[in-house]
Structure 1
Amino acid sequence: MDINTIHRSAKARFRGACRVCPVCNGTICAGEVPGMGGLGTGAAFRHNIQALAECRLNLRTVHSVKKPDLACRILGLDLALPVIGAAIGGIALNMNGAMAEAEYTAAIISGCRQAGTIGMTGDGPVPVVFDAGLDAIGREDGWGIPVIKPRDTDKIVELAKQAAAAGAPAFGMDIDAAALVNMTNAGQPVGPKTIQELAYIKNHTPIPFIVKGIMTPDDAEACWQAGVDAIVVSNHGGRALDHTPGTAEVLPYVAEAVKGKMTVLVDGGIRSGTDVLKMLALGADAVLLGRPLAIAAVGGGADGVAFVLNKYKAELSAAMILTGTAGLSDVPVEILW
Structure 2
Amino acid sequence: MKEIKDKAREMMKGFCRVCKVCDGKACAGEVPGMGGLGTASSFKNNLSALAEVKLNMRLLHGATEPDCSTKVLGYDLAMPIMAAPIGGVSFNMGGKITEDEYADAVVGGSKAAGVIGCVGDGVPPFIHEAGYAAIDKNDGYGIPFIKPWEGEELEEKFEKAKATGCTTFGVDVDAAGLITLRQMGRPVSPKKPEEIKALIDTVHGWGAKFILKGIMTPDETELAVEVGADAIVVSNHGGRVLDHAPGSAAVLPGIAKAVSGKLDVIVDGGIRDGVDVLKMLALGADAVMIGRPVSIAAVGGLQEGVETYFATLKGQLLQAMVLTGSQTVEDITSRVLFSE
Which TM-score band (shorter chain)?
Answer: over 0.9
Other-structure match for 1:224: 225
Contact kept in structure 1, 2:218 and 2:254, CA below 8 Å: yes
- The alpha-carbon deviation at position 167 of structure 1 amounts to 1.1
- The alpha-carbon deviation at position 67 of structure 1 amounts to 1.2
- The alpha-carbon deviation at position 330 of structure 1 amounts to 5.0
Other-structure match for 2:47: 49
Other-structure match for 1:78: 76
Other-structure match for 1:295: 296
- What letter is aligned with 1:47? N
Other-structure match for 2:243: 242
Distance in 1 between the 2:335 and 2:92 partners?
41
Deviations 1:106-155 (A, max 9, x none): 10001101111110000002111111100011111111101111113753
SS in 2 for 1:34: coil
Distance in 2 between the 1:295 and 1:212 partners?
22
Matched, 1:197 2:195: yes
Contact kept in structure 1, 2:234 and 2:266, CA below 8 Å: yes
Deviations 1:26-46 (A, max 9, x none): 111111111111100011111
Other-structure match for 2:118: 120
Distance in 2 between the 1:196 and 1:154 partners?
16
- What letter is aligned with 1:108? V
SS in 1 for 2:246: coil
- What letter is aligned with 1:92? S
Other-structure match for 2:36: 38
SS in 1 for 2:243: coil
Distance in 1 between the 2:285 and 2:108 partners?
25
- What letter is aligned with 2:322? I
Distance in 1 between the 2:158 and 2:64 partners?
42
Q: 1:203 to 1:154 in 2, by over 3 A?
A: farther
Distance in 2 between the 1:209 and 1:174 partners?
11
Distance in 2 between the 1:217 and 1:274 partners?
25
Distance in 2 between the 1:282 and 1:140 partners?
32
SS in 1 for 2:130: helix
- The alpha-carbon deviation at position 182 of structure 1 amounts to 2.3
Distance in 1 between the 2:116 and 2:269 partners?
18
- The alpha-carbon deviation at position 78 of structure 1 amounts to 0.4
- The alpha-carbon deviation at position 187 of structure 1 amounts to 2.1
Distance in 2 between the 1:251 and 1:308 partners?
25
Contact kept in structure 2, 1:214 and 1:231, CA below 8 Å: yes
SS in 1 for 2:198: helix
SS in 2 for 1:70: coil
Other-structure match for 2:279: 278
Contact kept in structure 2, 1:157 and 1:204, CA below 8 Å: no
- Structure 1, unaligned runs of 5 or more: none
Root mean square deviation, CA, Å: 1.1
SS in 1 for 2:145: strand
- What letter is aligned with 1:210? I
- Structure 2, unaligned runs of 5 or more: none
1:18 to 16, 21, 24: 16
1:177 to 175, 179, 192: 175
Matched, 1:311 2:309: no
Distance in 1 between the 2:183 and 2:4 partners?
35
Distance in 2 between the 1:287 and 1:70 partners?
13
